[in-house]
Amino acid sequence: MRRRANHRLGLFDAFLIKENHIIASGSVRQAVEKAFWLHPDVPVEVEVESLDELDEALKAGADIIMLDNFTLT
């Protein structure tokens, strides 16, 4: 059986970029870049809703990517 653990304890130990942050920043890339600019040593997690957002998060260097209501069709 695979052991499970939380990857974040709270809002203090990693950025969690969600849809409202992406809208406010203008794009996934800009939201991730701003997070890294603010605190380069803090992990950045992004919630994406499409393949385009997934690609953008990967290219921006997000540490963790969550797939929210994600479909491939």
Report DSSP state, residue 11.
Answer: T
DSSP 21-69: HHHHHSSHHHHHHHHHHH-TTS-EEEEE-SHHHHHHHHHHT-SEEEESS
* Burial classification of residue 24, based on how many CB atoms lie within 10 Å of its CB (0-12 exposed, 13-18 middle, 19 or more buried): exposed
pTM for the complete prediction? 0.82
Task: Go through the domains of the chain in sequence order and give each one's CATH number.
Answer: 15-67 (3.20.20.70)
- Residue pLDDT, tens place only, 3-59: 666 766 666 688 999 999 999 999 999 999 999 999 999 999 999 999 999 999 999
